[in-house]
């Protein structure tokens, strides 16, 4: 009985092992059949080759600078090019209602981000000369910002002001930089060879020729190194040109509607009248001594003219009365003579 049970258990275990083996082979058949492969070793080789090809393609893309990421602050797509030499220049025209605080904030941002102000100029019209021009202050700043912090700086200053114009230029100098480095390497090798030849020079003539060529090579090396430093500075520090203008109202970003145009026109008219009367009041107060003197002179002239005119009218009236009295006397005499003639008759 025990022998029968042992045989049965052995038979069951053997059947289970055969079934598992068959299932494993059946699972591998579809992929090999689809690819037309009959040898399992060949299938493994193909998989390994495909993995190596994918890894090589990934390395090539990374070397070409094709990795893509997202800028967390602005939400825009940015392309990382660690192997490229890119010079970025940005032009910004900004408007601000709080001119003093905004310009101070811009300069502080430049300092905090590790940049520096390369050049700046400002215009500040006199406030007392004309109240209509006291919002016409302007500042131009040329700033150098680390290239990896340029976007943060641009987003920061635009968020605190009204952007009216923006342009960006990217100059790829990778090839020029590579060619310059190659020239530098060749000149360094030539310099080393010339130094070795100078040690082995046997005649003064040879020594002079070597020194002349060595001087030329050193001069070219200095020029190339200066050019490379310029490239490095322009690549590492982007240039930002800022034009900041103080305004009362921001320039609209889009076409205004009819109602907005009417409202802006009415508001501009009110402001214009206010500036006119304010300027008139300032003019009257400022020139009051002259105006008082002019008023006195005009009053005197008017008084004299009126007095002279009054005298002329009185004289004319007197002459007219005299003529009237003479006429009346003449008529009276004529009447008396007529009465005398009638009595004689």
For residue 128, give the CATH number of its domain: 3.30.70
Spatial separation of the C-alpha atoms in residues 246 and 284, rounded to whole Å: 29
Is 320 domain-assigned? Answer: no
User: Do strands 86-96 and 237-246 pair parallel, antiparallel, or not at all (unpaired)?
Assistant: parallel
- Identify the pLDDT of residue 69: 33
What rounded mean pLDDT belongs to the chain? 74
Do 166 and 184 sit in the same domain of this protein? no
Instruction: Name the one residue in this structure whose structure tokens are 């055969």.
Output: 18
Residues 87 and 166 in one domain: yes
- Check whether residue 161 and residue 185 sit in a common domain: no
- Residue 201 in domain: yes
What total number of domains does the chain contain?
4
Burial (0-12, 13-18, 19+ Cβ within 10 Å), 244: buried
Report if residue 25 sits inside a domain: yes
Residue 241: strand pairing partners: 91, 142
pTM of the model: 0.52
88 and 142 both lie in a single domain: yes
> pLDDT digit string (tens) for 16-60?
554 544 444 444 444 444 334 444 444 434 344 444 443 444 344
272-312 pLDDT, tens digit each: 777 777 777 888 888 888 888 888 888 888 888 887 777 77
Confidence of residue 196 (pLDDT cuts 50, 70, 90): very high
Residue 16 lies in a domain: yes
Answer yes or no: do 168 and 183 share one domain: no
Residue 314: inside a domain, yes or no? no
How are strands ordered across the β-sheet holding 162-172? 116-123, 138-146, 237-246, 86-96, 162-172
Residues 161 and 135 in one domain: yes
Residues 152 and 167 reside in one and the same domain: yes
92 in a domain, yes or no?
A: yes
Same domain? 120 vs 152: yes
Cβ within 8 Å of residue 139, ≥6 positions away: 103, 120, 121, 122, 123, 242, 243, 244
Whole domain around residue 160: which residue ranges? Answer: 82-173
In this predicted structure, what is the pLDDT of residue 19?
52
Same domain, 87 and 157: yes
CB 272 within 8 A of CB 122: no
In tens, the pLDDT along 81-135 reads 567 899 999 999 999 999 999 999 999 999 999 999 999 999 876 554 444 445 5
What span, in angstroms and rounded, lies between the C-alpha atoms of 262 and 259? 5
Do residues 166 and 89 share a domain? yes
Query: Is 253 a domain residue?
Result: no
> Is 185 part of a structural domain of the chain?
yes
Please indicate, yes or no, whether residues 47 and 92 belong to a single structural domain of this protein.
no
């Amino acid at each position: 009985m025990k022998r029968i049970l042992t045989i049965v258990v052995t038979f069951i275990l053997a059947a289970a092992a055969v079934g598992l083996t068959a299932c494993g082979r059946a699972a591998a058949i579809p992929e090999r059949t689809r690819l037309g492969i009959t040898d399992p070793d060949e299938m493994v080789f193909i998989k390994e080759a495909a993995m190596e090809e994918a890894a090589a393609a990934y390395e090539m893309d990374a070397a070409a600078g094709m990795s893509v990421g997202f800028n967390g602050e602005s939400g825009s797509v940015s392309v990382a090019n660690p192997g490229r030499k890119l010079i970025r220049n940005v032009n910004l025209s900004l408007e601000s209602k709080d001119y003093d605080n905004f310009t101070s904030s811009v300069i502080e941002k430049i300092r905090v981000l590790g940049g520096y102000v390369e050049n700046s100029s400002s215009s500040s019209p006199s406030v007392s000369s004309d109240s209509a021009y006291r919002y016409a202050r302007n500042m131009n700043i040329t700033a150098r910002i680390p290239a990896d912090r340029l976007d943060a700086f641009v987003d920061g200053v635009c968020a605190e002001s009204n952007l009216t114009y923006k342009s960006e230029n990217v100059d790829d100098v990778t090839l020029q930089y590579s060619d310059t480095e190659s020239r530098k390497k060749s000149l360094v090798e030539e310099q080393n060879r010339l130094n070795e030849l100078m040690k082995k020079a046997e005649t003064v003539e040879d020594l002079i020729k070597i020194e002349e060529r060595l001087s030329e090579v050193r001069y070219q090396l200095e020029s190339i190194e200066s050019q490379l430093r310029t490239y490095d500075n322009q690549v590492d520090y982007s240039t930002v040109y800022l034009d900041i203008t103080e305004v009362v109202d921001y320039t609209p970003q889009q076409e205004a509607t009819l109602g907005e145009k009417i409202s802006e026109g009415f508001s501009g008219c009110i402001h214009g009248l206010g500036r006119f009367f304010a300027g008139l009041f300032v003019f009257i107060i400022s020139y009051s001594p002259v105006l008082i003197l002019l008023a006195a002179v005009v009053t005197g002239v008017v008084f004299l003219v009126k007095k002279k005119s009054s005298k002329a009218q009185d004289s004319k009236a007197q002459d007219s009365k005299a003529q009237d009295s003479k006429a009346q006397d003449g008529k009276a005499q004529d009447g008396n003579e007529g009465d005398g003639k009638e009595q004689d008759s």
